[in-house]
Copies of this chain bind each other. A is one copy, B any other.
């Protein structure tokens, strides 16, 4: 794998992870269409999925620009991300929506945190991908409307959201163990300004803990408890 001199170790990993996450989300969203209750919501799901595909293409192109083989860069993350998707296959339209909202939200927070760790051009690109948000608004609205109609759903969906995050943290820890350069890159963000001796894995745990804080706000937006 040929890399330009300005690319920190781990950046290719990071872009590969994000690219495969987007591709996986694309197929997952498209696959959930059979759960959609109407033609209108099927179309909205398709639009969300297509946006993920655009992100995937952007990240893939950046990998090519950096001299990396994009498929090689994505390969280490196929198994953990596919595992997450399989272990959190939604059984209903509402579960699918909550997964979309929670998953997109965590992914976006993660992007924002790590954008500053990569080279400037990659950071601009990642921030650009994030800039076109707001599409997921209908998701939170739909979940809230369903809860208004049947408040008993809240308990089950709150549990579901917790499981989504738990499974994500578990897969993330495995990725961190298997990709030490990526872990080191991610640990930089938290270690800055701190006394030394912070192990990468501990730093990553704290990083994910802070992702979980934003998660609580997203649950509230859908009318769910933590």
CB neighbors of B among A16-55 (8 A): 20, 23, 26-27, 30-31, 33, 38-40, 42-43, 46-47, 49-50, 53-54
CB of A218 closer than 8 Å to a CB of B: no
Kindly provide the distance from the CB of A185 to the nearest chain B CB, expressed in whole angstroms: 23
Check if B60 sits within 8 Å of A53, measured CB to CB.
no
Segment at the B interface, from A71-79, A88-96, A125-133, A193-201 = A71-79
Q: Is the CB of B53 within 8 A of A46?
A: yes
Whether the Cβ atoms of B50 and A54 lie closer than 8 Å is yes
Given known A30-B49, A50-B50, contact A78–B23 (CB-CB < 8 A):
no
- What residues of chain B lie closer than 8 Å to A23, measured between beta carbons? 39, 42-43, 46
Residue of chain B at shortest CB distance from A74: B39
Report the bound CA distance from A144 to B23 in whole Å. 27
Contacts of A56 in B (CB 8 A): 43, 46
A residues at B contact (CB < 8 Å) = 20, 23, 26-27, 30-31, 33, 38-40, 42-43, 46-47, 49-50, 53-54, 56-57, 60, 70-71, 74-75, 78
Q: Please, which residues of chain B bring their CB within 8 A of the CB of A42?
A: 23, 27
A30 touches B26 (CB 8 A): yes
A93 to chain B, nearest CB (A): 15
Residues of B with C-beta under 8 A to A47: 53, 57
Could you show 22 A-B contacts with beta carbons less than 8 Å apart? Answer: A20-B39, A23-B39, A23-B43, A26-B49, A27-B33, A27-B42, A30-B30, A30-B31, A30-B49, A39-B71, A39-B74, A39-B75, A39-B78, A43-B56, A43-B57, A43-B60, A46-B56, A47-B53, A49-B49, A49-B50, A49-B53, A50-B50
In the complex, which residues of chain B have a beta carbon less than 8 angstroms from the beta carbon of A30?
A: 26-27, 30-31, 49
